[in-house]
Every structure is written in C-alpha cells, then in structure tokens.
Structure 1
Amino acid sequence: MKKRLITPIVLSTALIAATLPQGQALAVQPQDLTAAQTKSIKQWNEKANVPLFVKEKHAVKRLAATPNDALNYLQEKKSTLNMKNPKANLKVKKVEKDDLGMTHVRFNQTNNGILVEGSEIIVHYNKNNEITSVNGSYHQAAEETDINLSPQLSSSNAVEKAKSAVKAPEKLTYAPTSELVIYPFEGKNHLTYKVNVNFLGEAPGNWFVFIDAKTGEVVDQYNAIMHAEDIKTQTGSGIGVLGEHRLLHISQTKEPNEGTMFQMADYSHEGLEGILTYDYSNNRLEIFKDKDAAFHSDFDRPAVDAHYNSEKVYEYYLNEHGRNSLDDEGMPIQSVVHYGNNYNNAFWNGTYMVYGDGDGEFMIPLSAGLDVAAHEMAHGVTSNSANLLYRFQSGALNEAFSDIFGALIDDENWELGEDIMAPAAKESGRESLRSLSDPSKYPVKADYVPYGNGDGMYPSHMDEFYDLPGNLDNGGVHINSSIINHAAYLTAQEIGREKLGKIYYRALTTYLTSLSDFSDARQAIIQSAEDLYGAGSEEAAAAAGGFDSVGITE
C-alpha cells in the first residue's frame, strides 16, 4: 500500500477562462482590457520571428541523433536558414524519441545566454539517424542586437511592478515567477523580465507581464486564462449532473475530528500522481469528500462528473497515444468544481481544470460534459508540448486542438458542449457551444461582426476569417479556431477519427512551437501524416485536403 499525503491544491499558471458570446463557455477572453493594455496588444508583432520549415529532399545521413550533431548541421546550413551563429545562440531544450524511432532535438534561441521569447528550432531525425526536416521560428534581429543585456532592475522589483499592473490581489496562493528574456516588440528588442502572476477570485488571471529590465515600465502584457495518512484507493459510486450512475475511484482516510472520510482522490493508476477533485464552494480549495462512499446528493453531482470524466480523458491519452497524463510524466490530474456564482464557463489554469455550475438558464454545471473536460485537459497537453501562445493565430490553434480532441474523446458527434446547455439555450436554438461539422450554424458576439465578412457567423473558411484586435477574444482565439476545427472534421470524413487523432496529436507534440500559425499547422499536420502513414498516402492526402478545403493552401 502506497503512502499518500493529501495536501491543499497548488495554484499555479495559466487560467484560460472568460465570458463567451451568448453565454458560450470554454475560455473566451476574460474581461475587457484597459486602453493601455489594448494598445500594447495591438502593437505586438506576431511575425517578428521568421517561420522555418526546411524539408530535405533526400535524408541527410548523420553519425548520431544528438544535440551536438544537430547544432553542427544547423551551423552547416546557417546560410539557408538565415542564422548567423547557431552554435553560439541555440540552447538545447529537450531531446525526444518517439514510437516511430524518430528523434527530435529542440533548441531555444538565446543571446549571451538570455532566452529570446518565442523562438524555437526543432531538428528531426528518422530512425536511421538521418535528418529529414527542420522547423520552428528564429528571430534574426535578436541574434544581432546590440542592446545592453545587464538588467538595472531586480527580479523582485519586476514582480511587484507586474502585480501592480494587473491589479493582483494582495495574497497569492502561488508565488509569481520571473525570467529574464529578450522580447521582440514594436520593431525593437527589449531586455525584460517575463513575470507570470496567477490568481483566482472574481476576475481570475494568469497574466504574463513583460517588465523592462532597465526602466521598470510595462512593455507588454496579456492574460492567458485558457484553465498525512495511509490512503488506499477503492471503488465508490456517484450520480452525475444528468443522472448517470458512475463508478468512481476514491480514497478512504481517517481525519482528526471527522473520523473516516471518503475523498475524490484516485491513486489507482501506476505512474500517475493521482486524479483529484476539489470543492471551491466556500471560496477556498478543499478535497471533495463525504462520510459515505456513495456521492449521490445534488451538491455532489458536478464533482462526480469531473472526477469520472478526468479518468476517461486520462485513459484516452494513455491508450491512444502512450501519454502519461498532461505532461507525459505522470503529473496529477486535478479538477475544481463549484467555482464562481452562476459561472457559465470552465478553464484550465496550468495545473488544474476549473468548472462553474452554470446559471441554470443557459448552462448547467459544465463538468457534465466529457468533451468539456477533454477540451480543458487538452489545453494541459498543449501547455506541456507546443505551448501555443494564447493570442491571434497561435491562440486559435490552441483552442482548435482542444475542440478537436474534445470531439474525438466524446465521440458521439462533432458538436462541442451539447451536454451542458440548459433549456433556455436550447429553446433559443443554441444546442451546443460550437460545431466542427458546421461552424456557421452559430453567430459570433455582436462586437466581433465588423471584423469579419459581415455574415456574423463562426467562420468555416479563410475567406470568413475575423481580423480581430488583441482586446477582443485575444485576437480571435475562439472564433478563428473554427476554421481549423472544420479542416480536421473534413479530414476525419476521409480517414476516420482514430487516424485523425494520431496525426493531430503528433503535430501538436512533435512539430508545432509557441508561435506557430495556420500555415505552420498545415505543414506540421501533413508532415505528421507522412511520418505515420507514408508520403503520398491516403492519410497525407486527406490531411492536405482538409486544409485546402478551408482555404489554407500553403
């Protein structure tokens, strides 16, 4: 019997929530930004980095698939790649070997040891130690910048300025983090502290604030709110929000002043730190528990579904992709229910999923949806792989991958959130949150209409793309994502759900980087299909066809 200590949940990065058009859930932009914040986001140059995708016509034989060999190759190809000195400016991030026998060496760009924000290069070897391709993004100007790289501001001062900028509450459950980076912005390279400030409350935030390391001024900022006893796991039961009877893995403990208690803490999976479900109804996090192993009360129902669905999503990634939890290293899968008051949303905060109870009119408790849980947990997979920046096209890709895996895991249809819509929503014609098969069946928020083609519906094609500013839905992360959603749906009609999942999972975890856009996604997904099923295969053709059909042709 393994000793476990149930402790309060650790609060950490990346809340991904917000108000959706007409009550739509799953993480639209939180609240309106100030004029200064809007100006800052509009001036972010998302194309500052040069995208790369170099595919060798004939695989280049190397001695070994190692970081040193990859650096030597990049040095040899520096003219082709428009790099001045890869050996001096690239730092190994990670080396991964996949089930196909391929090795992928990831590098971060640096200047004198300081990371360049967003820049990442991946060198791909096949099973014969031959280099087949290189992709990612590289910032040429940051390589040649002559800015003084000695900060005049301390890291602690930068944290205080960041907390003030985002109006963070005085008490934070999790300490902010700070890292010195070179930040390309407004056509210049800035030496900044990248500060992450995370908090719950009425206006939850997962802010990334870039503080000038010399002046202390805010260069840029954005909210990424996307979302001791011996314990023996045993079987319990519960009733879900929609009345389903669920078998649950729970734990029995003896607690001071309470005696024997049953907690929603599942330690039955080897190599996984646990599946844990917490209650936030009293505005503080407590493990969900009862004196009975049967969780049958109305108050229990959202927790029952959150706990049950978390295990289902965990099993999908393990069985289909060999992935052990969201980080592939067995991190605990943690959920929080009863968040907020009439809260029509759910989000991922970098450590756990958070579910509102809905207002009963437009939405019921959001943990009722398996696809909702899968959507939020896919954000966790993304955070621990491609880490797609939550703005503009990279943010739309972030949302699209969550929607796509939500629809793959809850495989009854190609709708998202159909199980969490309340009667009034259905009567108004809103039977789900989004549709991958027919995105245009639902309207976007009125504020978004002027930025599209005038139809005011979710886009299915690049001709309908919404050129939204950064202060509206973080530049369209929940709107333009439907174009990628539809491309995936069309591909699945040709090759099926299982193959689609394998291709998209490989693209997300092997090829995409934080600043990848729609064009990068096309290349990554076609390349992944070729890796898995061969160049010229039906699957590769279907992957390309899906993108062709939505107007992403290069």
Structure 2
Amino acid sequence: MKKRYTLPVVLSSALLLGSVNGVLAQQQVSQDSIQAEVEKKWNENANVPLFVKEKFAKKQNASNAGSALDYLAENEKKLGIQKAAKNLQVKDVQKDDLGMTHVRFQQTKEDVPVEGTEIIVHFNENNEVVSVNGYHNKTVSNDNVDTKAALTKGEAVNIAKSSVDAPEELTFEPTSELVVYPFVEDNSLAYKVNLNFLGDKPGNWFVFVDANTGEVIDQYNALLHADNLKTKPINGIGKGVHGEKRTLHTTKETQAGEDTTFKLYDEVHQNLEGIYTYDYNTDEIFENHSNAWVSDYESPAVDAHYNSEKVYDYYLNEHGRNSLDDNGMPIISYVHFGEDYNNAFWNGRYMTYGDGDGEYMVPLSAGLDVAAHEMTHGVITHTANLNYRNQSGALNESFADVFGALIDEDDWEVGEDIMAPAAKEDGRTSLRSLSNPDKYPVSEEATPYGDGQYPKHMDEFYDLPLEIDNGGVHINSSITNHAAYLIGEQIGKDKLGDIYYRAIATYLTPTSNFSDARNAIVQSAVDLYGENSEEVTAVESGFDQVGIY
C-alpha cells in the first residue's frame, strides 16, 4: 500500500510557516488552564474599530500632530475619542510619495499605553484630513485605573519566566513595559513582558502580568571583531539545497599570522548594517577556507544567505524600504536548527530554519517564498505589528504568505520548494495554496471546527479556541490569501504588492480584523490609483468573493 504522508504534530498548527507560535504554545500543557481563563477574560471588543473617510474636511494649518489633535478635538462627538490631547500620544509621523502625511497615535491612561489601541489621522497634500482609522478603548477614559504598580519590573519578569518555563539563558535581555490591559469588565494595569529564547522549544513570548497581584493575565508565543582584522567584500559561489549555483556576497578576512577565511556576511549595501548567516550548531557565522560553498552541510546556509538578499532587494527596490525596520537593521539567519525540524520562524529579531526530516521536507531555507514569508513577519513587526491571535494573527500570516507569493513570483503556492520528493509523490506539493486553498486538509485538532479543508470563504471560517493555532492564525489566513489571489489575477502582482504594502505600512493597527483589512486595502488602492479605478474595483471584488464585506 502506498505510504501516506501526513503533517507531523509540529506542522499541524505551525508550518504553516509563521513564527512557531501556535504549536509551541499548545505543546506546553501547563498553559491550558491559563489559556482557558484568557478566553473568558480577554476582550478584543473593548477596543472599538474606527474608519472614517472625510470628503469635505476642514483644511488644517499643517499636516502634523498638532493639527491632527485639533481635528480629533473638533470632531470628538463624531469620532467618540474623548480628550484626544490628554489621552493620545504621538507614536509616529510619516510622509509618503503621494504627498500624504500619516500621524499615528497611541491611546494612553495617565501616560501609560493602552494595549491594542492606535489611531491614525491621514492628511492629503493640501493639509486636509481625508480619513481616520484605528482602534480606541472607550471605557478606559472614564475608568478609574490606578497606574501605580505594586510590583517591580524585575518581579514581573521573574513571574513571566516561570509561567512559560523559560530557560536560564535567554537570547536577548527581557523587556518589560507597563500597559493598561483590557478585560471584559475591567481595565487592569499590567506589565507586558517579552522573553526571547531558543533551545528545544524556542519562544518569543509576550506575557501580561498584573502589576498589582502578580497574576498572569495572558500570554502568547509570537514566533522573529578581532584586532588588526582586515575585511574585504568579495563574490563567492555556492550550491543551494536543490543544486542551484548561487552567486553570493561574502567577506574575506585576513589577519597576521592566521589563514585567510571567507565568511557568509555581506556589508556592502548602503545604509544596511549587513546580511549575516549563522550555523545554529556553533552559534557562529559560516566560514570557509575557500570562497566556494559547495558541501551539503553548507547548502542550507547558501540558500538562506542568497534568499535574504533577494527579499531585502525586493522591499528596497519596490517599496523603498531599507531592511525590515526601514532603518537598516541587520538581516540575520540561523540554519540547521533542531533535529528533523519541519519549520521555520521569525522570533522577533531574526529568521531560523530547520533542516526538515528528509521525508516530508528538505531544509526550509531552500524556499525563497519561505524566506520572504519570515522576513515579512519582520516587516509587519515594524509596521502594523498585528497581534498574533485570532483574525489579527491570521492577517499577520496572510500578509506574510502574500508577499511570499509576490517575491517568489512564479506561482501562487507557498513552500513548493521545501517539500521532499516522497511528500510530493503523495500529493502534498506545497504548504498552502492561495489560488486553491481547500486542496489541503487542516490539522486533526482543527477539523471538528470546520469541514476539514483550508477555507476560502467566510462561510467556512474556523471559530477556533486560542489553544489551537492561536485561534486559527494559519488556517483562517487562507481566506484573505484567496482574496489576494483573486485581486492579483485581475491587476497583476506588481500592483497587488504596492497596494498591500501600503495597507500594512499606513493603515492597519495591531488589533485589525478582516473587515479592517478590506477597508485598509481598498483605501490604499484609492490612494494609489483613484476612487473609481479598475484597481479599486478589483480589490472590492476580491473581498466580496470571499465574503468579507
């Protein structure tokens, strides 16, 4: 009988190629009771969505934060945002190529950020407010929230470490920020703690600790020079996982009394700190005594290094974005992670690739769309910063898939280059399909919540609990993936990329849902191509066809 290849447990909710978030959260059984409580307490609906388009807005003195606050104050009743000058802090001001200015505010309570709430005011080139969107919490302004913490940041970090079984050695120093956190019947002061570590169960955990009681309110896994050394950039040759010949930008290092070495780091790009490729087993940058990288052990590093530059070039050349943070941050990849590890992830700082098990998958760095997917998670972190749960998390995954299919432009599949031959023979030729999502089954644990296949319409939406795939971030993303495919088939991938990039960089906020995404993408098409353009019609049609109105 022909052997059938089914997704191993680690794939059932993670590969799925996001950060490793969903599956690792699920594997930590001790978290189940906490997650059950989270479902009862966490209230995304406390944050009220806002999307107002102005056709005849009053002209402001300038397109800046002050004018934006004036507009919000003058329209307090219409917008429902009380005492904007007191309760909003400027987070960012951007001017784009269309001459528009976008002022992004963070809602606060006595200068403490309110989690999940941002308001963006958009000016045209004539200093007129043309739209306002985002989320704000109406209850916080009138609620008597004590913003003085009884716990210290250090105490909150220790509680957070214990709650996720963090190892003693963390990859980065933990961060802790005081926030107001929304509940169904309350708004509580909490420390938002970020813990980042590798090991057997890598994590990029966000843990919310009540700043007065020490209770863990919520948590989710959001899996992202020697002296006298002379260096010289130099082109090398490498062999990829599938045998492709790659031209690589590497560095030649020479030092007195030592042999010349060649390393997989590239510091030739202007205003970019560099592109660096590490071996997870040694925690060192790949090095060689020749500039020919042709061994089987080196091939995953060759692909990771090559594909990182391809994705960097795409965002720079197509969208004018300088690295993931638009400020030249280093692009770092680790390969050879884990043993038979069928996954890749962005841990908030860098990309990590498993080698696959050889039966279901080959080394995951072989896929340009995989690299594009993971690096786009990094772009999202530094733009819309979509929360990695429920619909906002599904959007996070969807945008990563869409840009994976745009950068690896040959088809509308994700992961077709990382499937092992035996899996392909059994009919699993990719991880996900934007054009035909329902040709693949979902995980066994998600099947009871739907028809067992990836959905392509809101009628097939999986209403999953948080402990399964963070509420369906990989599964329900296929609905918005399919919308992107339908739009792209009408207007082409170049225009689709311009519209989608503008949506995440300009309009979306951390708690945006599918309807917000439709509004943002339609508005982006209007900005770029005009109100009654065929591009706007295509976007509206694409979302109509998947039931997002």
TM-score, L = length of structure 1: 0.94
Q: Does 1:246 align with 2:234?
A: no
Q: 1:97 aligns with which of 95, 115, 124?
A: 95
Aligned to 1:354: 352
Query: Are 2:38 and 2:217, in contact at CA under 8 Å, matched by a contact in 1?
Result: no
Q: Aligned ranges for residues 119-268 of structure 1 at < 5 Å?
A: 119-225=117-223, 227-228=224-225, 229-254=229-254, 259-268=259-268
Q: 1:304 aligns with which of 302, 305, 327?
A: 302
Query: Are 2:316 and 2:322, in contact at CA under 8 Å, matched by a contact in 1?
Result: yes
Aligned to 1:37: 34
Change (3 A) 1:198 1:430: same
SS at 2:125's partner residue?
A: coil
**Could you tell me how far apart the structure 2 residues matched to 1:276 and 1:342 are?**
23
**Could you tell me how far apart the structure 1 residues matched to 2:348 and 2:427 are?**
33
**Could you tell me how far apart the structure 2 residues matched to 1:24 and 1:69 are?**
45
Aligned to 2:465: 469
**Could you tell me how far apart the structure 2 residues matched to 1:419 and 1:47 are?**
40
**Could you tell me how far apart the structure 2 residues matched to 1:23 and 1:98 are?**
35
Q: 1:437 aligns with which of 435, 440, 463?
A: 435
Change (3 A) 1:20 1:26: same
**Could you tell me how far apart the structure 2 residues matched to 1:466 and 1:490 are?**
21
Q: 2:537 aligns with which of 532, 535, 541?
A: 541
Shift of 1:511: 0.1
Q: Render the CA deviation track for 1:100-128: whole Å, top value 9, x for unaligned.
A: 11000000000111000010000000111
Query: Are 1:40 and 1:221, in contact at CA under 8 Å, matched by a contact in 2?
Result: no
Q: Does 1:21 align with 2:19?
A: no
Shift of 1:25: 4.4
Aligned to 2:6: none
Q: Which residue identity does 1:510 align to in structure 2? A: T
Structure 1 unaligned residues grouped into runs of 5+: 1-17
**Could you tell me how far apart the structure 2 residues matched to 1:143 and 1:254 are?**
62
**Could you tell me how far apart the structure 2 residues matched to 1:216 and 1:250 are?**
49
Query: Are 1:275 and 1:332, in contact at CA under 8 Å, matched by a contact in 2?
Result: yes
Aligned to 1:394: 392
Query: Are 1:60 and 1:132, in contact at CA under 8 Å, matched by a contact in 2?
Result: no
Shift of 1:19: 2.1
**Could you tell me how far apart the structure 2 residues matched to 1:357 and 1:393 are?**
30
**Could you tell me how far apart the structure 2 residues matched to 1:140 and 1:464 are?**
32
**Could you tell me how far apart the structure 2 residues matched to 1:363 and 1:41 are?**
35
Shift of 1:144: 1.4
**Could you tell me how far apart the structure 2 residues matched to 1:232 and 1:63 are?**
52
Query: Are 1:25 and 1:344, in contact at CA under 8 Å, matched by a contact in 2?
Result: no
Aligned to 1:8: none
Q: Which residue identity does 1:37 align to in structure 2? A: I
Shift of 1:309: 0.4
**Could you tell me how far apart the structure 1 residues matched to 2:14 and 2:267 are?**
36
Shift of 1:145: 1.3
Q: Which residue identity does 1:231 align to in structure 2? A: T
Bigger shift: residues 249-258 or 335-344? 249-258
Q: Render the CA deviation track for 1:188-224: whole Å, top value 9, x for unaligned.
A: 1010111001100000111111111111111111111
Query: Are 2:13 and 2:469, in contact at CA under 8 Å, matched by a contact in 1?
Result: no
Structure 2 unaligned residues grouped into runs of 5+: 1-8
Q: Render the CA deviation track for 1:74-121: whole Å, top value 9, x for unaligned.
A: 011111111221110000000000111100000000011100001000
**Could you tell me how far apart the structure 1 residues matched to 2:403 and 2:161 are?**
34
Shift of 1:47: 1.7
Bigger shift: residues 362-371 or 167-176? 167-176
**Could you tell me how far apart the structure 2 residues matched to 1:80 and 1:407 are?**
40
Q: Does 1:485 align with 2:485?
A: no
SS at 1:540's partner residue?
A: helix
CA RMSD of aligned residues (A): 1.3
**Could you tell me how far apart the structure 2 residues matched to 1:552 and 1:337 are?**
38
**Could you tell me how far apart the structure 1 residues matched to 2:496 and 2:392 are?**
20
Q: Aligned ranges for residues 357-376 of structure 1 at < 5 Å?
A: 357-376=355-374
**Could you tell me how far apart the structure 1 residues matched to 2:378 and 2:330 are?**
11
**Could you tell me how far apart the structure 2 residues matched to 1:257 and 1:92 are?**
55
**Could you tell me how far apart the structure 2 residues matched to 1:98 and 1:524 are?**
16
Bigger shift: residues 340-349 or 140-149? 140-149
Q: Which residue identity does 1:503 align to in structure 2? A: I
**Could you tell me how far apart the structure 1 residues matched to 2:10 and 2:134 are?**
32
SS at 1:175's partner residue?
A: coil
Shift of 1:231: 2.2
**Could you tell me how far apart the structure 2 residues matched to 1:353 and 1:272 are?**
17
**Could you tell me how far apart the structure 2 residues matched to 1:324 and 1:303 are?**
23
Query: Are 1:205 and 1:224, in contact at CA under 8 Å, matched by a contact in 2?
Result: yes
Shift of 1:23: 8.4
Q: Aligned ranges for residues 44-63 of structure 1 at < 5 Å?
A: 44-63=42-61
Bigger shift: residues 252-261 or 469-478? 252-261
Q: Which residue identity does 1:277 align to in structure 2? A: T
**Could you tell me how far apart the structure 2 residues matched to 1:81 and 1:231 are?**
57
Shift of 1:400: 0.2
Shift of 1:259: 2.4
**Could you tell me how far apart the structure 1 residues matched to 2:292 and 2:45 are?**
54
SS at 1:91's partner residue?
A: strand
Shift of 1:20: 1.8
Q: Render the CA deviation track for 1:433-467: whole Å, top value 9, x for unaligned.
A: 00000000000001101112xx2100000000000
**Could you tell me how far apart the structure 2 residues matched to 1:119 and 1:399 are?**
21
**Could you tell me how far apart the structure 1 residues matched to 2:280 and 2:258 are?**
20
Q: Does 1:280 align with 2:276?
A: no
Query: Are 1:255 and 1:261, in contact at CA under 8 Å, matched by a contact in 2?
Result: no
Q: Which residue identity does 2:521 align to in structure 1? A: I
Number of matched pairs: 531
Query: Are 2:35 and 2:218, in contact at CA under 8 Å, matched by a contact in 1?
Result: no
Q: Render the CA deviation track for 1:483-511: whole Å, top value 9, x for unaligned.
A: 00000000011111100000000001000
**Could you tell me how far apart the structure 2 residues matched to 1:292 and 1:57 are?**
63
Q: Which residue identity does 1:443 align to in structure 2? A: P
Shift of 1:253: 1.2
Bigger shift: residues 214-223 or 108-117? 214-223
**Could you tell me how far apart the structure 2 residues matched to 1:546 and 1:175 are?**
44
**Could you tell me how far apart the structure 2 residues matched to 1:257 and 1:19 are?**
47
**Could you tell me how far apart the structure 2 residues matched to 1:137 and 1:23 are?**
28
- Give the fraction of aligned pairs with identical amino acids, expressed as a percent: 61
